[in-house]
Amino acid sequence: MRLRVDWTGDNPIVLPWNYPHLLHGFVYAAIYKTNPLLGEQLHERGFAAGGHRYKMFTFSLLFPQQARRREEGLEMVPPIRWWVSSPLIGLLEALALTLLTEGTALLGKTQLVVERVVVEENPELSGFRLFQTLSPIVVSTGIRRGKKLHRRFLSPDEPDFWRNLEANLRRKAQALGWEVPPEPLTFKPVGKWRSRLYEVQGTKVRGFEGKFWAGGNKELLSIGYEAGFGERNAQGFGMVRGFMDSSHASPIYTGI
């Protein structure tokens, strides 16, 4: 399930470059106001599988009518569009109720007015489908240097990016209690991807934006579509939108 939120305002707003952390805090606060038990479960525990924990939601970057770079951040001209998705219907119901009841959202010191909240249907995910990122996808691996484990962020040019992406989806399916299918997924990146560096709670995080074809088990793809592809989804990474399917695009990366 996916919500589209349209925000409006009389004047342009300016948000810091690392503004996704403001949206992250807003989502948790909005869910907690309507459903405290769910908000506490998401924040404190989430859903566990294979030594990993997942919050099972993701959200996009903000898409304003116009945007301009400024020294202190990004100036955005309303209306501003934003998406949030999750396989947990109760989560989105709680968020939508808070948005519609309060009618405003406070991001740091910036207030936005809720113009509308729309429920969007999921696209058909069978076949081979084209996706485009609405927020950067983060995939990393651990590298041991001496006694310390360091994270290295992978790029879509590396086959391990796609193998780790699929393994992540399978763990999410397991965490939700879904039967994990043996059928492998197939990925094909399209064109040149853009690298984006963010600071998340004092940590530098690198993600990538672009398009890719994906095919295979539609339940796994639906988890990616609703809960996010890759890591740090609840911090605003890994949201995609889906386009047409195709039986003619040749795959590059197949299997875990």
pLDDT, tens digit (0-9, with 9 covering 90-100), for 175-225: 999 888 788 899 999 999 999 999 988 889 999 999 999 999 999 999 999
Spatial CB neighbours of 7, under 8 Å, sequence gap ≥ 6: 78, 79, 80, 81, 82, 105, 112, 113, 114, 115
Q: Which amino acid is at 74?
A: L
* Measured distance CA(138)–CA(122) in Å, rounded: 22
Give start and end residues of each alpha helix (H) in 78-237. Answer: 89-102, 159-175, 218-227
Alpha-carbon distances of 188 from 137, 156, 171, rounded to whole Å = 15, 9, 21
| Catalytic, out of 19, 21, 24, 28 | 28
- Domains parsed from the chain with CATH numbers: 2-120 (3.30.70.1890), 128-254 (3.30.70.1900)
Rounded to an integer, what is the distance from CA 15 to the centroid of its chain?
19
Cα(143)–Cα(132) distance, rounded to whole angstroms?
Answer: 29
Q: Which of 31, 56, 88 is nearest to 233 (CA)?
A: 56
Q: Verify whether residue 253 is a known catalytic residue.
A: no
Q: What is the pLDDT of residue 118?
A: 95
| Mean pLDDT computed over every residue of the chain | 90
Cite the beta strand spans of the chain per DSSP E: 2-8, 13-15, 47-49, 52-54, 58-59, 63-70, 73-85, 104-107, 110-120, 128-133, 140-145, 148-153, 186-200, 203-215, 240-245, 253-254
Structure confidence at residue 248 as a pLDDT band (50, 70, 90):
very low
What are the structure tokens assigned to 82, written together? 């934003």
Could you give the maximum distance between any two Cα atoms of the chain, in Å? 55
Tens digits of residue pLDDT in 66-82: 999 998 899 999 999 99
Is 52 a residue of the active site?
no
Q: Does 65 have pLDDT greater than 50?
A: yes
Q: How far is CA 54 from CA 8, 49, 71, 184, 250, in A?
A: 31, 8, 35, 21, 32
User: What is the per-residue pLDDT for 256?
Assistant: 32
Model confidence pLDDT, tens digit, residues 28-43: 999 999 999 998 888 8
Percent of the chain with pLDDT over 90: 71
- Higher pLDDT, residue 148 or 116: 116
pLDDT above 50: residue 251: no
Do you know the residue count of the chain? 256
Cβ-Cβ contacts under 8 Å for 49 (sequence gap 6 or more): 171, 172, 174, 175
- pLDDT tens per residue, range 87-126: 999 999 999 999 999 999 989 889 999 999 999 988 888 8
pTM, rounded to two decimals: 0.91
Q: Which residue has the higher pLDDT, 46 or 145?
A: 46
Query: pLDDT, tens digit, for every residue of 234-247?
Result: 999 999 998 754 43
- Catalytic pick from 19, 24, 32, 43? 43
Q: What confidence score (pLDDT) does residue 244 get? A: 53
